[in-house]
C-alpha cells in the first residue's frame, strides 16, 4: 500500500483517503503516521484503506466502477435529508471498512475479498437510519454506537 502526502486530499476532518489505489494523507497526519505506523490507530487506518482497495478489485478491478457505485450509494442515502455524515457512514463501502477495520487480516483473506459490502447494499437506507441513535452521528461515540448496532443487526447474516 502506497501512502503519500497531499495538500488537497483528504477533506478536512478525515485522516486518509484512497484515491485510485494511493492512500493520501495531509501533512500532519502523514507525519504522525510515519512516527506511529505500528500503533493500533494507524494499523486500523491502513486496514480501512486496504479494504477500500479490495472493494475496487471486487468490482472488476476498476476504480471507475468503484467511484460510480460509491457516488450512487452516497446519493441513495439522501444527504440532503439525513445529512452528509449519515450518507457517508451508511454507504456500504464505508460500513464494511469501518466494521472490519479492527481485523487487520480481513482485506487479505481470499475467501472474503472485502465483498460484504454487497450484503450491506441489499438493505435500504431506512434500515440503517432506524439503527441510528436519536442524537444523530455528530460525535465519534455516536458513530461507534451506530456501527455496534449495525454489527449486531448483521451478526447472523454474514
CA distance 8 to 130: 35
Q: What pLDDT does residue 114 have?
A: 81
CA distance 48 to 136: 23
Sheet of 2-5, strands arranged across: 2-5, 22-25, 17-19
Q: Please state at what angle helix 140-154 crosses helix 92-100, rounded to 10 degrees.
A: 90
Cβ distance 21 to 7 under 8 Å? Answer: no
Find cell 460509491 and name the residue.
Answer: 70
Residue-wise pLDDT tens for the chain (158 aa)? Answer: 899 999 999 998 899 999 999 999 999 999 999 998 888 989 999 999 999 999 999 998 999 999 999 999 999 999 999 999 999 999 999 999 999 999 988 988 876 668 899 999 999 999 999 999 887 898 999 999 999 999 999 998 87
- C-alpha 47: how far from its chain's center? 10
pLDDT of residue 107: 87
Instruction: Characterize the bridge pairing of strands 2-5 and 17-19.
Output: unpaired
Q: What pLDDT does 44 receive? A: 94
Amino acid at each position: 500500500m502506497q501512502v503519500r502526502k497531499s495538500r488537497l486530499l483528504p477533506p478536512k476532518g478525515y485522516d486518509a483517503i484512497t484515491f485510485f489505489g494511493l492512500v493520501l494523507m495531509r501533512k500532519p497526519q502523514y507525519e504522525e503516521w510515519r512516527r506511529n505506523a505500528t500503533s493500533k490507530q494507524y494499523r486500523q487506518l491502513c486496514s480501512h484503506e486496504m479494504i477500500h482497495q479490495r472493494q475496487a478489485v471486487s468490482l472488476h478491478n476498476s476504480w471507475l466502477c468503484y467511484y460510480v457505485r460509491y457516488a450512487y450509494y452516497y446519493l441513495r442515502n439522501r444527504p440532503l435529508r439525513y445529512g452528509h455524515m449519515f450518507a457517508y457512514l451508511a454507504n456500504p463501502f464505508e460500513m464494511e471498512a469501518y466494521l472490519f477495520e479492527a481485523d487487520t487480516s480481513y482485506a487479505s483473506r481470499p475467501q472474503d475479498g472485502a465483498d460484504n459490502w454487497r450484503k450491506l447494499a441489499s438493505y435500504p437506507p431506512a434500515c440503517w437510519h432506524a439503527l441510528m441513535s436519536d442524537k444523530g452521528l455528530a460525535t465519534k461515540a455516536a458513530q461507534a454506537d451506530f456501527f455496534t448496532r449495525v454489527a449486531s443487526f448483521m451478526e447472523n447474516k454474514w
